[in-house]
Amino acid sequence: MENNVIILAGGQGKRMKTNMPKALCNVIGEPMLEWVLTACENAELDDICVVKGYEGQQIEDYLAARKSKAKICTVMQEERLGTGHAVMQAADFLKAHAEGNTLILCGDAPFIDAETIKGALELHTEKDCGVTVVTSRVENPTGYGRIIRTENGISGIVEHKDCTPMQLAITEINSGCYWFKTADLLEVLFDIKPENAQGEYYLTDCIELLIAKGKKADAFISANPHVALGANDRRGLLALNDIARYEIIGKWLDEGIEFCCTDGVSIGNNVTIGHGTKIHSGVILRGNTTIGENCNIGNNCIIENTTVGNGVNLNNVQAYESVIEDDVKIGPYVQLRPNSHIKKGAKIGDFVEIKNSTIGEYTAVAHLTYIGDSDVGSNVNFGCGVVTVNYNGDKKFRTVIEDNAFIGCNTNLVAPVRVGKGAYTAAGSTITTDIPDNALAIERGRETIKEGYAEKKLKARTEKFEAIHGKSEEK
């Protein structure tokens, strides 16, 4: 039987005071929609329809740029007339999957998880339900719809404002997540009416309609206490970030990861960390980042969509879309821009920037150096202040530095240029032609000394200063 997903992501979120769809607001560096999509993929649901609305093109652009394991389509909800109305826009998608089950999720409720999705589906199919509601038990259910249970399932959901005093005491709440038998949902979806104060079509009305038709309705209580949580404003969004941050740190603590201090630490939902690794304060790990075993991730590192090998030591490093192999030491104050590949045992010192380059095994880039669009071999040594001059104002070119080369301090390598195996450049040289293997390249202008030049310049500067600020008193 085919199972599929509809994600409701058409909300504007006016109280967020943003020009983007609410579902694209971030929790730990990832849009809330991404959290929901990841949960679906982890639950092996790969046929998804996203209902977009406010600034829908932004949703479209995000999905187009996303590396997805799932097949994702979109439909437009031109008017935001409630959850039921949103699902109606996906009628063609439902009809194409009429033989299976459909999961309805909110794109701005980021904490849905694969275990809950799978558990609810198991209950749904085992009991042959027309609808199964995912629920949560909370200490303070204020504002949430209450689940009315019966001996054989549920009889419906009562919104908070409509609850009797006895129903207000119920702590089992609706998460806004539902499994429907798709054919049953189609049978009642267009029968719901906007007969409420908001004049909206409520998806929850489908439950009562299905029960009236003799279909079974039940509820699955998620073990995840945060499954129902969403945010309507920036304060609420910050609360979601705090919850996610501590939950993820807690998960890695349980896995044996050492945290020296959690101040400023933020770890994304898709990050993996190997055993024996130590995380210091201010570390931000985002996107599809993988940290190997026995690493030391020092203060204030930002690592995004990057693979880090085993035994790596990073200190004040920013790395984006790069690869760092085993036993590399980098920092402090180093930036790895996209498509950088640092091979085993390399050392990158302070104030170094590397972009779209490969740094070979055991190569040392000590400090104050820029390497862009370059292919560097193994056991190369860079002196202080080296620059690969990769851009002529129109096009970018590559530099090749072969094994065992020695690049002297303040060398400019003007690409395209090749430094041969074991070749040396003298300090202060600007290299514009290829250097043969084992050669020494020296390129320095002739030194010229003009006696008295500085004295004249100093006198002119002093006179100008005194004209503006007045003559300094002698001490």
Q: What is the pLDDT of residues 439-458, one digit of tens each?
A: 999 998 887 878 887 887 78
The per-residue pLDDT for 475 is: 40
What's the pLDDT score for residue 1? 67
What is the fold of 339-475?
A: UDP N-Acetylglucosamine Acyltransferase; domain 1 (2.160.10)
pLDDT > 90? residue 25:
yes
Rounded CA-CA distance 367/255 in Å is 36
**Stretch 144-171: mean pLDDT:** 90
pLDDT digits (tens, 9 = 90+) for 232-260: 899 999 999 999 999 999 999 999 999 99
Mind listing the pLDDT tens digit for each residue in 40-60? Answer: 999 999 899 999 998 889 999
Nearest Cα neighbor of 319 from 333, 298, 338, 332 is 338
Q: How many helices (H) and strands (E) does the chain have?
A: 10, 41
pLDDT in tens, 304-317: 999 999 999 999 99
Give the 3-state secondary structure of residue 85: helix
Structure tokens at 348: 């990158």
267-300 pLDDT per residue, tens: 999 999 999 999 999 999 999 999 999 999 999 9
Q: In what order do the strands lie in the sheet with 290-291?
A: 272-273, 290-291, 307-308, 323-324, 341-342, 358-359, 374-376, 399-401, 417-419
Same fold for the domain at 255-321 and the one at 339-475?
A: yes
Given this model, what pLDDT does residue 432 score?
A: 96
Strands, E assignment, 97-145: 101-106, 131-137
What pLDDT, on a 0 to 100 scale, did the predictor assign at position 474? 47
Residues making up the binding site for UDP-N-acetyl-alpha-D-glucosamine? 22, 77, 82-83, 145, 159, 174, 232, 337, 355, 370, 381
371 bridge partner residues: 354
Q: How far apart are CA 298 and CA 304, in angstroms?
A: 15
Q: At 394, is the pLDDT very low, low, confident or very high (cuts 50, 70, 90)?
A: confident
Confidence band for 190, pLDDT divided at 50, 70 and 90: very high
* pLDDT at residue 446, rounded to an integer: 80
Known catalytic residue at 367: yes
Residues 97, 275, 341, 367: which is the catalytic one?
367
Q: What topology does CATH give the domain 3-221?
A: Spore Coat Polysaccharide Biosynthesis Protein SpsA; Chain A (3.90.550)
Q: Average pLDDT, whole number, for the chain? A: 93
Q: Which residues are annotated as a binding site for Mg(2+)?
A: 108, 232
User: Does position 10 have pLDDT exceeding 60, yes or no?
Assistant: yes
Of the candidates 358, 347, 274, which has an alpha carbon nearest to the alpha carbon of residue 315? 347
Mean pLDDT of 371-377: 98
* Model pLDDT for residues 222-231, shown as the tens digit of each residue: 999 999 999 9
- The residue-averaged pLDDT of 428-436 equals 96
| Binding-site sequence positions for acetyl-CoA | 390-391, 427, 444
Architecture (CATH level 2) of domain 255-321 = 3 Solenoid (2.160)
pLDDT in tens, 76-114: 999 889 999 999 999 999 999 999 999 999 999 999 999
Taken in order 156, 158, 162, 167, the sign of the CA dihedral is positive
10-14, 120-124, 250-254: range with lowest mean pLDDT:
10-14
Rounded to an integer, the average pLDDT of 411-417 is 97
Residue stretches of the annotated binding site = 22, 77, 82-83, 108, 145, 159, 174, 232, 337, 355, 370, 381, 390-391, 427, 444
Could you give the CA distance from residue 326 to residue 309 in angstroms, rounded to a whole number? Answer: 4
Q: Where are the domains of the chain?
A: 3-221, 255-321, 339-475
